[in-house]
């Protein structure tokens, strides 16, 4: 039989080339799976953070990470938690391997330094520029701590506290009348740890429609205004959260100011306040995201956020790259927007109603993670 050595040589050369190319693919993997992202970081309870596995072709996460088979997964632990991922791949010798890695996410528990913020104790007084009033009276420009709105004034509806929601719960009721100007509804000096990040929040519920007599509540920390609410919502309890504040001393003075919207038309600023909190879980938890690896600067610069600063609504333009998901974190490290996509290149996001400040944005772009910041003002 006659052998065509030219054809045989061609086949051998191309086989060798294919083998070399295959070897290049194989050597891109190792036999050691690792976990990056928020691994080893400290966070606040229930903060959504990203864990990223690498070093294998396929992955399976532990049940407490939802058994995900993606290379990255978001977790929201309430206590310090160990996560495990098992990866399968082929090592540089062309041999299959199975490798397991573990990761601990540490959770700092929340400490609230406000005393009697839910008004559950038998103390009936607070520090306020308004005098203490009496129940079963519709006299204005006073405050009381009571069980329902209508126990302060019988003309008001039955509205129970926010904490318990029935006639056994107590809360602060403000009866504030005409032309009284800015008033301090509540104030307290608390113990703080310098360097720790705190979040000032409270719940409010007003009696009358804010169309006719709108008013706002302003948070004051050590004499400085840090946040002003939208007009208080009537008829429902709603939480208002100020931007994170980093303590600078061992004591901090907190105040809630009543502020008119229509100048002297400040009648009927009648409302309840409950569950006042100034809480911390340590230093600013944005540090949890510093472990995330960015892709190269060229890709990062290709992402455009506009307008930046923004009043709430802004756009993310990836310049023809494919966006797969976008997460937005406030400056306390909490996930406020989670958006999953398929092939989007231009995405609208809305932070209207969120406190003013700097927000961190993580974007999965062409299977690589990017980080950007947006200023809401």
Distance (Å, rounded) from C-alpha 96 to C-alpha 90? 4
Average pLDDT over residues 247-258: 94
The rounded distance, in Å, linking the Cα atoms of 164 and 210 is 26
Comparing 193-197, 207-211, 344-348, which segment has the lowest mean pLDDT?
207-211
pLDDT computed for residue 85 by the predictor:
95
| Predicted local confidence at residue 366, as pLDDT | 67
- Return the sign of the alpha-carbon dihedral for residues 113, 118, 120, 124: positive
- DSSP SS3 for 9: helix
Architecture of domain 294-377 in this structure: Sandwich (2.60)
Report yes or no: 320 and 355 within 8 Å, Cβ to Cβ. Answer: no
Indicate if the pLDDT at residue 212 is higher than 80. Answer: no
Q: Is the predicted pLDDT of residue 230 greater than 70, yes or no?
A: yes
What does the pLDDT look like over 100-145, one tens digit per residue?
Answer: 999 999 998 889 999 999 999 988 899 999 999 999 999 888 999 9
pLDDT in tens, 69-87: 988 888 989 999 999 999 9
CATH 2.60.40.3080, the chain: domain bounds: 294-377
pLDDT average, residue stretch 144-159: 95
Q: Which of 15-29, 147-161, 325-339 has the lowest mean pLDDT?
A: 15-29
- What is the location of CATH 2.60.120.260 in the chain? 112-280
Predicted confidence (pLDDT) at residue 372 exceeds the cutoff of 90: no
CATH code matching the domain that covers 112-280, chosen among 2.60.120.260, 3.90.1150.10, 3.30.1330.200, 3.40.50.620 = 2.60.120.260
- Per residue in 305-346, pLDDT (tens digit) is 888 888 999 998 887 777 878 888 876 567 788 888 777 778
Does CATH place domain 1-109 in 1.10.1660? no
For the beta carbon of residue 117, count every other beta carbon within 10 angstroms.
24
Contacts 24+ apart (CB under 8 A), 81-85: 81/105, 81/107, 83/35, 83/51, 85/33, 85/35, 85/51, 85/53, 85/59, 85/60, 85/61
């Amino acid at each position: 039989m006659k052998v065509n050595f030219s054809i045989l040589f061609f086949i051998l050369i191309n086989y060798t080339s294919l083998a070399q190319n295959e070897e290049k693919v194989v050597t891109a993997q190792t036999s050691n799976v690792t976990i990056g992202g928020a691994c080893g970081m400290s966070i606040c309870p229930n903060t959504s953070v990203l864990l990223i596995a690498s070093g294998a072709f396929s992955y399976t996460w532990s049940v407490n990470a939802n058994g995900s088979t993606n290379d990255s997964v978001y977790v929201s632990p309430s206590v310090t938690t160990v996560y495990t991922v098992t990866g399968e791949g082929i090592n540089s010798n062309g041999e299959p391997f199975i490798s397991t890695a573990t990761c601990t996410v540490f959770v700092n528990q929340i400490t609230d330094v406000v005393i009697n913020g839910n008004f559950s104790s038998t103390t009936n007084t607070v520090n306020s520029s308004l005098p203490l009033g009496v129940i079963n009276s519709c006299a204005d420009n006073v405050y009381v701590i009571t069980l329902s709105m209508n126990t302060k004034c019988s003309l008001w509806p039955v509205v129970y506290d926010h904490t318990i929601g029935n006639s056994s719960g107590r809360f602060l009721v403000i009866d504030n009348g005409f032309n009284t100007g800015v008033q301090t509804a509540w104030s307290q000096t608390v113990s703080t740890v310098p360097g720790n990040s705190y979040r000032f929040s409270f719940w409010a519920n007003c009696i009358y429609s804010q169309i006719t007599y709108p008013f706002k509540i302003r948070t004051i920390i050590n004499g400085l205004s840090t946040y002003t609410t939208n007009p208080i919502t009537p008829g429902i309890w709603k939480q208002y959260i100020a931007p994170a504040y980093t303590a600078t001393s061992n004591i901090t003075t907190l105040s809630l100011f009543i502020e008119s919207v229509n100048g002297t038309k400040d009648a009927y600023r009648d409302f309840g306040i409950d569950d006042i909190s100034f809480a911390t879980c340590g230093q600013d938890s944005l540090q949890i995201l510093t472990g995330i690896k960015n892709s190269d600067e060229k890709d990062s610069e290709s992402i455009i956020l506009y307008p930046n600063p923004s009043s709430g609504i802004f756009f993310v333009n990836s310049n023809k790259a494919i966006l797969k998901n976008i997460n937005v974190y406030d400056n306390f490290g909490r996930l406020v927007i989670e958006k999953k996509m398929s092939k989007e290149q231009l995405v609208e996001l809305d932070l209207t109603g969120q406190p003013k400040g700097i927000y961190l944005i993580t974007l999965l772009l062409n299977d690589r993670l990017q980080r950007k910041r947006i200023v809401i003002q």
